[in-house]
Every structure is written in structure tokens, then in C-alpha cells.
């Protein structure tokens, strides 16, 4: 990896198709912008058509020649994910890059998705598990497919409690978020093991954006008063921009040097900010038995079994 990898090093993505979830905001938007700038056809997957259209208009102002489309998909709804996947499959496209990015963080009260999953586990992990499985035939139709799954430093405090996956016994806002982000890494690594065992060329990489200035706080735990003032004052010292936060995603999605299964995050102090490099998740993310069990439980909960890799 170059000493300081930047978006300028993204190779041409011409002829490639990319799907980015949560593409209207923050890291997802920045990742979509750079993929489009480098020639990919990018599907901006957003739960709100209005937000998706606004993001597409902004992107086209920055890159007028961009090939972008908006697709409405709610990652907290298996029906919505299935409807999107069915349309994509019917379109007959191969899928070169899937960016599993959409996410919600530390919701103050326990909320459920329309399928009855705890909202963070349901959106951040189960929704993306289902989407990736449903799009697998399209991914495997591409010559060098990549799946990038956006995790978080928060995985370090995460615990997969198979008897409390939906926080049904106890809900702790940050605990539920950390578990969902740990699930992201366990999933990405298990996907890589399965893809390799099946002899496919698919690369699956978990990544994390350090601490980046996006809408995730206001959409989750919220901040007002003194807390908001502290964030605004100290934020720029420890946080990076959303564009910098998207670099691990972009490196994993495009760099010829990226190795499937590697975890990519910022190089700086405590991995808060900096150029993308290979980083190490905590041991809890490397437990292959938990990764396999989580896969089986995710199949059962979503009803999605992966063709070829199942």
C-alpha cells in the first residue's frame, strides 16, 4: 500500500457497476462520488427517494459526466431489499462492487424493523447479509467482484449474544450498535472464507472510517446543548471529514493491492483518522466459530441462503 493512499489513486472504474447503500449521506455519499468520478456506474441506494434525488443532483454538480441512478431501498425491510434485488437481477447487470454502508448508531430507545429485528442489528447487519446473498449471482458474474462492509471501532466493545441478538432481554444503545458492527466484521471475514473455499474471485473486506464528521450522531443518539458545543469545538481535532472517512471503503473497493479478508482503517492515533491502511480488529472479530454460527442464524432470520457459498 502506498504510504498515504488517496482517492487520486483509484484506478479507472469504467465499465464497472457499483451499489452503495446509504449513499445519500456521509461516508456512503463520498464513496459513491469517488466511484462515479472514476467512471463506475453507481446505484445510490437510499431509503428516501427525495434524499436520493438530492444526493444525485449534488453528485452531478460535482461530476457532470457521472453515471448515477437512485434506487429506493430500506435496509430495515427484507421486503424492500428483496424488491430491489429482484429488479437488479432482472436488469441482468453484473455487480462489480457492493458497498454495505448504511447504518444507524446507538438509538436511545429499542426500536424494531418491520421484520421485528432490533433496528441496529437489523439494518447494519441482517439487511446487508440479505442484500449480499440476494445479489451474489450478480457479484459472481463479475470478473473480480468486491464486497466492502463498513464496520466501526465500536466493534471492540461488541459481543454477539445469541440469546439476546434482538436485545430482547436487555437493550443497551451502544451495546446494540457495537454488536452490529462486530457482526459486520465477522460477516465480511466469513464471506471471504466461503468465497475462497468455493474457488471464486470475490474479495470481501471489512473497513472502518475512524471517527468522521457525518450525520450519524444526529440520526442516532443526538447531541444538543453542551454536548453539541463540545462536539463542534473538539470534533475537528479528533475527527476527519466524511471524504477522508470514505477512503478505507474506496481503497477496499478499488485498490489492486487490497487483499480479501483484510480489515482497512485509518493509520493515525487510535485509528481515529488518517490514510487507509491494514489494521487489526479485536480478537472477538476473529472467532471463526462465532462467524459461522452468526452466518447460520442470519440465514434463518432473513430466509436468505447464499447460492454457491451457502
Ligand X SMILES: NC(=O)c1ccc[n+]([C@@H]2O[C@H](COP(=O)([O-])OP(=O)(O)OC[C@H]3O[C@@H](n4cnc5c(N)ncnc54)[C@H](OP(=O)(O)O)[C@@H]3O)[C@@H](O)[C@H]2O)c1
Contact footprint for ligand X (CB under 6 A): 21-22, 24-28, 47-48, 51, 74-76, 101-105, 123-124, 150, 152, 208-209, 211-212, 214-216, 219, 245
Between residues 185 and 258, which has the closer beta carbon with respect to ligand X?
A: 185
Identify the CA nearest to 191 among candidates 84, 295, 119, 77: 295
**Min dist. Cβ of residue 211 to ligand X (A):** 4
Apex 240 CA angle, 238 and 242, nearest 5: 150
Q: Give the Å distances, CA to CA, from 55 to 61, 95, 96, 177, 202.
A: 10, 22, 22, 26, 29
Other CB atoms within 10 A of residue 229 CB: 11
| Integer Cα distance of 31 and 290 in angstroms | 30
Between residues 78 and 140, which has the closer beta carbon with respect to ligand X?
A: 78
Local structure of 143: helix, strand or coil = coil
| Integer Cα distance of 50 and 48 in angstroms | 5
**Min dist. Cβ of residue 93 to ligand X (A):** 20
**Min dist. Cβ of residue 48 to ligand X (A):** 5
Local structure of 269: helix, strand or coil = helix
Selected catalytic residue, list 29, 171, 177, 251? 177
Contacts of 154 (CB under 8 A, 6+ apart): 105, 174, 177, 178, 181
Between residues 66 and 183, which has the closer beta carbon with respect to ligand X?
A: 183
Rg (CA), the chain: 18
**Min dist. Cβ of residue 101 to ligand X (A):** 5
**Min dist. Cβ of residue 249 to ligand X (A):** 9
Between residues 2 and 60, which has the closer beta carbon with respect to ligand X?
A: 60
Pairing of strands 146-150, 97-100: parallel
Between residues 70 and 142, which has the closer beta carbon with respect to ligand X?
A: 70
Q: State which residue has the least CB distance to ligand X.
A: 26
- Please confirm, yes or no, whether 177 is among the known catalytic residues: yes
Residue 136 near residue 89, CB atoms below 8 Å = no
Q: Which residues are catalytic?
A: 177
Amino acid at each position: 500500500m502506498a504510504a498515504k493512499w488517496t482517492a487520486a489513486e483509484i484506478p479507472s472504474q469504467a465499465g464497472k457497476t457499483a451499489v452503495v447503500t446509504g449513499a445519500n449521506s456521509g461516508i456512503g455519499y463520498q464513496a459513491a462520488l469517488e466511484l462515479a468520478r472514476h467512471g463506475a456506474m453507481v446505484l445510490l441506494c437510499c431509503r428516501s427517494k427525495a434524499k436520493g434525488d438530492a444526493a444525485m443532483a449534488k453528485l452531478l454538480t460535482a461530476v457532470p459526466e457521472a453515471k448515477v441512478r437512485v434506487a429506493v431501498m430500506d435496509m430495515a425491510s427484507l421486503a424492500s431489499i428483496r424488491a430491489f434485488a429482484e429488479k437488479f437481477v432482472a436488469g441482468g447487470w453484473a455487480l462489480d462492487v457492493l458497498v454495505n454502508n448504511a447504518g444507524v448508531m446507538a438509538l436511545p430507545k429499542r426500536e424494531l424493523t418491520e421484520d421485528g429485528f432490533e433496528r441496529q442489528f437489523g439494518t447494519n447487519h441482517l439487511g446487508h447479509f440479505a442484500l449480499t446473498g440476494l445479489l451474489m449471482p450478480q457479484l459472481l458474474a463479475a470478473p473480480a467482484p468486491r464486497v466492502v462492509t463498513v464496520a466501526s471501532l465500536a466493534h471492540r466493545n461488541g459481543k454477539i449474544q445469541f440469546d439476546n441478538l434482538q436485545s430482547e432481554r436487555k437493550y443497551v444503545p451502544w451495546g446494540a450498535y457495537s454488536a452490529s458492527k462486530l457482526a459486520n466484521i465477522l460477516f465480511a471475514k466469513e464471506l471471504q472464507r466461503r468465497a475462497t473455499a468455493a474457488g471464486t474471485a470475490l474479495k470481501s473486506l471489512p473497513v472502518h472510517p475512524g471517527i468522521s464528521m457525518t450525520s450519524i450522531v444526529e440520526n442516532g443518539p443526538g447531541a444538543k446543548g453542551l454536548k453539541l458545543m463540545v462536539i463542534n469545538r473538539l470534533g475537528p481535532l479528533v475527527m476527519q471529514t466524511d471524504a477522508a472517512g470514505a477512503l478505507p471503503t474506496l481503497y477496499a473497493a478499488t485498490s489492486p493491492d487490497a487483499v480479501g479478508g483484510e480489515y482497512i482503517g485509518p493509520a493515525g492515533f487510535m485509528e481515529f483518522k488518517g490514510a487507509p491502511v491494514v489494521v487489526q480488529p479485536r480478537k472477538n472479530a476473529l472467532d471463526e466459530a462465532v462467524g459461522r454460527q452468526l452466518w447460520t442464524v442470519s440465514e434463518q432470520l432473513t430466509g436468505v441462503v447464499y447460492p454457491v457459498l451457502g
